[in-house]
Chains A and B, each alone.
Chain A
Amino acid sequence: MSSSNLLLVLLMLTTAGYYLGRKKAVTVAQATGKGQQILHSRPTYYGALAALWCAVPALAIFIFWQAVGPTVITQLVVAGLPSDLQALPSDRLGLLMNDVKNLVHADIVSGEISVAIQAAADHYIRLQTLSHAALAVLVLVAGIAGILWIQKRITPVLRARNHVETLVKYLLVACASIAIFTTIGIVLSVLYEAIRFFKVIPVHEFLFGLDWSPQMAIRADQVGSSGAFGAIPVFMGTLLISAIAMCVAVPIGLMSAIYLSEYADKRFRAVAKPLLEILAGIPTVVYGFFAALVVAPMIRNAGVTLGLDVSSESALAAGLVMGIMIIPFVSSLSDDVINAVPQSLRDGALGLGSTKSETIRLVVLPAALPGIVGGVLLAVSRAIGETMIVVMAAGLAANLTVNPLKTVTTVTVQIVTLLVGDQEFDSPKTLAAFALGLLLFVITLILNVIALVVVRKYREQYE
């Protein structure tokens, strides 16, 4: 039975469980001769209880099986291989197992199909069929057992509503905990691979090295593929582009926020604010295309007329466009904090005879400064983590430069180029992406935490 069919049958079983539970409750109540009033809860709760007992354990089994099944099958197939194949080094064995799996899915196989591989594939298919059948039986048995178990216990005094509510609450807790599991997942997955990377390349070399060229030599005599993993140039590139983006986004975002919250009338604000926010909703791949297609050639042409040497993929193009993207983050966060400044402060300054702009510059902005700084920090972390614009417009060469007209590379670009396309797992080249990911995660996390603390601290001032 295929997974979707199995789930469909389970759904029908659950519905059946609901009606059976309800019916049972009504019959039990009728049997006492006092009617439905004698039931502790309304009949639907007995039905819901039966449905929950049917669906939840069965679904748990289903998800667990789906998650663990393929790994177990692969291991069983490996264990069933002839001993000379099992003795292969792990990467060769992995390739072999890939062939087996491709054979199972009737895809293209890398080499000739040997008898052993064919046998392994057959074994794999047998185990897979067995696993599917076992899963179907287990899930259905669990579902039916759940219904039967609860059917037996339905009596007028069964506190069905309380049971249902407790179960529902646990389900809600489980959903809320997914956020934590996601974080743990991120940390573990990135950390695990990064540690493997640091076993090959020492941490200090990664953090303080001045050379980044992740190509590893495949043959010993190959020229120019030494594989240097110094992250400094990559981080310089990231910082450079983020700095350019901030130079665009902060003045424009801040001034728009000031104008919208202090000067603009209601109608203008109602039009301009959503329009500004469109900028944040445009997919980054669109910005990337725009940067590569329109902005980069424009900058290049301008540079040529001025007699400057501009690369066709420059940090400036990527930074400018990224700055545009970030404007709404700066403006809406600043707008919030400027609006939070109490009117009495403004009235006081205006009453002393200052003009509106003086009030804003000398009173409102200083009062709102921590909040604005927090917003800018959040925007910086977004700029550092932004991928598509820089992938499409900033180039790949890791230059240690502060010249915005040169091509630079960023952390996210390197992650993408290291992991997209041909990749060998276990090579430092692939693992380096996870080390960069770890660094990226840590840096943005620190920036976010600082920003949140600053914003929160500031908010408490007037409350």
Chain B
Amino acid sequence: MNNLIQNQRTARTMDIVNQGLARRYRAEKRFRLYGIVAIILSMIFLVFLFVSISANGYTAFQQTFVQLDIHLDPEILDAGSLADANYQGLVKQSLADMFPEVTTRREKRQLYGMVSNGAAYQLQDYVRKNQNQIGSVIQIWVPADDDVDMVVKGHIRRDVPEAERRVKDNQLSWIDEFQEQGRLEKRFNTTFFSAGDSREPELAGIKGAVSGSFYTLIVTLLLSFPIGVAAAVYLEEFAPKNRWTDIIEVNINNLAAVPSIVYGLLGLAVFLNFFGLPRSVPLVGGLVLTLMTLPTIIIASRAALKSVPPSIREAALGVGASRTQMVMHHVLPLALPGMLTGTIIGMAQALGETAPLLMIGMVAFIVDIPGGFTDPSTVLPVQIFLWADSPERAFLEKTSAAIMVLLAFLVTMNALAVFLRKKFERRW
């Protein structure tokens, strides 16, 4: 009797479990699905980001050029004063010759606006190199104005009403005429890689920003790597466990989480206002980024030192090496690859950092390409920030292209870090 009741009760529990089972399995599946969805969502964001930026940016690697027939008039190009001859006038004359029907002032201005201001400088360079051709008619390819470029690339739509369009109907007809005559061509945009910043999108390039980034990163690397490694070696190998080293340790962890803009405030107050270093130079930028990346490098270097097994240390000490010799000759060489990977990741962070550099004046509009550590300059991310603010449509693709270059650098650096890690990975 008792046994029977027992059986009935177990059966009932099993029933309850079985009844709920389908629901529980559904819940299980749902939960799994949430996880997959979360990962897929992040991947979609990532792909969306890359695709939208590449879609906006890839056209910037090409630039529209216009072919002009220019009569190098010897009356204007006097051999004695080639430097200040009216090259702009020659370019305008050539355009006016091509479209003699254009007479009103307004239309003329529109016509002259078809080619870039840079055309005159290009012509000047050409004439200086080929002085024997003065007097003849030359054919020369000059960059088109950014609006023309946008029309050719299809970023300015033709079906928009004329009043809402930057490029007017008569300009469109000229573009068509250029195209029919084969005077319009899209070429690889070398200017983008060889020029500094400019107010004219078709003349703007990233070389200035890239060299600024280069000098800034050199300063950062030269300072943060030795200091970071030294600090890590001290804390990991020599430091006694006391109040002082505890404070240092807590400090480093805190510094790693301080918002980057606060480092900019520090740089502004200390390096610029207190020490009187010049504004917007790679030297100060490098100093600020050094302070910012130091915690990252110290933490990575300590992890690398920790992973060297104690047996190595004991063996070195056992054959009579001093502590310093043990560290310098045995532990450090083994930990160095790990430290290098940490440093590369720190450098990648520093390369992408913008906010603190805004504080120390690296947002200035600088056309010259910096040639040293104390030349005013800007860096790649700041250049992106500056261009992103520009109203011209053509700067949109320039910004996206600059981002693509920046991301390419970052991917290379991270790939290098991964490669080094793989190459020197060692299991003890």
Query: Taking beta carbons and an 8 Å cutoff, which residues of A are in contact with B?
Result: 67, 70-71, 74, 161, 164-165, 168-169, 171-173, 175-180, 182-183, 185-186, 189-190, 192-193, 251-256, 258-260, 263, 272, 275-276, 278-279, 281-290, 292-294, 324, 327, 353, 355-358, 360-361, 378, 381-382, 384-388, 391-392, 412, 415-416, 419-420, 425, 433-434, 437, 440-441, 444-445, 448-449, 452
Q: Which 7 A-B pairs have the closest CB atoms?
A: A385-B259, A259-B35, A283-B352, A189-B269, A255-B38, A357-B31, A172-B234
The verdict on B190 contacting chain A, using a C-beta distance below 8 Å, is no
User: In the complex, which residues of chain A have a beta carbon less than 8 angstroms from the beta carbon of B252?
Assistant: 179
CB <8 Å contact, B385 and A176: no
Which residues of the partner chain B approach A255 to less than 8 Å between Cβ atoms? 34-35, 37-39
> How far, in angstroms, from A327 to B38 measured CA to CA in the complex?
10
Contact of A256 with B266 in the complex, beta carbons under 8 Å:
no
**Distance, CA A392 to CA B403, complexed state (A):** 15
- Assess whether B119 is interfacial by the CB under 8 Å rule: no
- In the complex, residue of chain A having the shortest beta-carbon distance to the beta carbon of B51: A294
**Interface check B358, CB cutoff 8 A:** yes
- B266 near A185 (CB under 8 angstroms)? yes
Bound CA span A441–B260, Å: 10
A179 to B268, CA, bound (A): 18
Most B CB within 10 A of own CB, among A176, A178, A180, A437: A176
Answer whether A192 and B298 are a contact pair too, CB < 8 Å, given A179-B251, A285-B352, A420-B363. Answer: no
Q: Are the C-beta atoms of A256 and B239 separated by less than 8 Å?
A: no
Contact between B248 and A437 (Cβ–Cβ < 8 Å)?
no
Bound CA–CA A171/B233 (angstroms) = 11
Inter-chain contact A281/B359, CB cutoff 8 Å: no
Decide yes or no whether B275 CB sits under 8 A from chain A: yes
Looking at B41-49, B79-87, B181-189, the stretch in contact with chain A turns out to be B41-49
A169–B255 contact, CB under 8 A?
no
Report the minimal beta-carbon distance from B402 to chain A, rounded to whole angstroms: 10
Q: Are A252 and B32 in touch, CB under 8 angstroms?
A: no
Known: A178-B294, A355-B27. A281 touches B388 (CB 8 A): no
Q: Give bound CA distance, A186 to B355, whole Å.
A: 16
In the bound complex, residues from chain A placing their C-beta under 8 Å from that of B258 are 186, 385, 441, 444-445
CB distance from A100 to the nearest CB of B (A): 13
Q: Which residues of A contact B231 (CB under 8 A)?
A: 172, 175-176, 178-179
Minimum CB–CB distance for A5 against chain B, Å: 13
Which of A171, A258, A360, A392 interacts with B388 by CB under 8 Å?
A392
Chain B residues with CB below 8 A from A286, complex form:
49, 53, 352, 384, 403, 406-407
Interface-central residue, A177, A254, A360, by most chain B CB under 10 Å: A177
Q: How far apart are A358's CB and chain B's nearest CB, in angstroms?
A: 7
Q: Is the CB of B248 within 8 A of A176?
A: yes
Whether A175 and B259, one on each chain, are in contact in the complex, defined by CB atoms closer than 8 angstroms, is no
Could you show 24 A-B contacts with beta carbons less than 8 Å apart? A70-B276, A71-B276, A74-B276, A178-B227, A179-B248, A179-B294, A183-B255, A189-B268, A272-B39, A275-B43, A279-B42, A279-B45, A282-B49, A284-B352, A285-B352, A286-B384, A290-B52, A324-B42, A324-B45, A381-B259, A388-B354, A391-B385, A440-B261, A444-B257
Q: How many A-B residue pairs have CB under 8 A?
A: 250
Closest to B36 in A: A259
Indicate whether B262 reaches chain A with its CB closer than 8 angstroms. Answer: yes
- A447 nearest in chain B by CB position: B257
Residues of B within 8 A of A287 (CB): 49
Chain A neighbourhood of B25, CB < 8 A: 355
Chain A residues with CB below 8 A from B266, complex form: 182, 185-186, 189-190
1/0 per residue B219-246: CB within 8 Å of A? 0000000111011011100110000010
Given A285-B384, A441-B262, residue A175 in contact with residue B230 (CB < 8 A): yes
Chain A residues in 8 Å Cβ range of B276: 70-71, 74
Contacts of B230 in A (CB 8 A): 171-172, 175-176
Are A387's CB and B260's CB within 8 A? yes
Chain B residues contacting A292 (CB-CB under 8 Å) are 388
Asked if A176 and B234 make an inter-chain contact with CB atoms under 8 angstroms apart, the answer reads: yes
User: How far is A288 from B228 in the complex, measured between Cα atoms in Å?
Assistant: 30
Additional 12 contacts, C-beta under 8 A, given A168-B324, A183-B255, A255-B37: A169-B234, A176-B245, A182-B255, A186-B262, A256-B39, A283-B352, A283-B353, A283-B354, A287-B49, A294-B48, A387-B354, A420-B363
- The answer to whether A419 and B359 have CB atoms under 8 Å apart is yes
B322 partner, pick from A165, A172, A441, beta carbons under 8 A: A165
Contact in complex: A70, B275 (CB < 8 Å): yes
- The answer on a CB contact under 8 Å between A182 and B291 is yes
Instruction: Give the contacting residue for B270; candidates A189, A382, A387, A392; CB below 8 A.
Output: A189
Write the nearest CB–CB distance from A241 to chain B, whole angstroms.
14
CB contacts (< 8 Å) of B253 on chain A: these are: 448, 452
CA distance A354 to B269 in the complex (A): 59
B8 within 8 A of A: no
User: In whole angstroms, what is the CA distance A287 to B53 when docked?
Assistant: 10
Q: Mark B142-162, 1 if CB is under 8 A from A, else 0.
A: 000000000000000000000
Decide if B285 is an interface residue (CB 8 Å cutoff). Answer: no
A276 to B39, CA, bound (A): 8
* A211 shortest CB reach to chain B, Å: 23
Q: Which of A175, A289, A355, A415 contacts B403 (CB 8 A)?
A: A289
**Pick the contact of B42 from A168, A186, A192, A252 — CB < 8 Å?**
A252
In angstroms, Cα B344 to Cα A72, docked, is 39
Task: Considering the complex, give the chain B residue whose CB is closest to the CB of A273.
Answer: B39
Do B238 and A294 touch (CB < 8 A)? no
A303 to chain B, nearest CB (A): 19
- Chain B residues within an 8 Å CB radius of A251: 38
Q: Which residue of B lies closest to A182 (CB)?
A: B291
Shortest CB-to-CB span from B100 to chain A, Å, is 43
Q: A282-B352, A294-B52, A357-B32 are in contact. Are A385 and B261 (CB under 8 A)?
A: yes
Separation in Å of the B113 CB from the closest CB of chain A?
27
Contacts of A386 in B (CB 8 A): 259
A residues near B304, Cβ cutoff 8 Å: none
Q: Which single member of A165, A176, A412 contacts B239 (CB below 8 Å)?
A: A176
Determine which residue in A286, A287, A452 has the highest number of CB atoms from chain B within 10 A of its CB, and name it: A286
Whether, in the assembled complex, B28 has its beta carbon less than 8 Å from a beta carbon of chain A, the answer is yes
Contact of A192 with B251 in the complex, beta carbons under 8 Å: no
Shortest Cβ gap from B226 to chain A (Å): 8
The residue on A at minimum CB distance from B349 is A281
Docked pose: A178 CA to B37 CA in angstroms:
45
Minimum CB–CB distance from A301 to chain B (whole Å) comes to 15
CB-CB under 8 A from B227, the residues of chain A are 175, 178
> Inside 8 A of B381's CB, which chain A residues have their CB?
283, 285, 388
Q: How far is the CB of B314 from chain A (nearest CB, A)?
A: 19
Q: Mark B326-357, 1 if CB is under 8 A from A, else 0.
A: 00000000000000000000001101111100
Inter-chain contacts of A387 with B (CB < 8 A): 259-261, 354-355
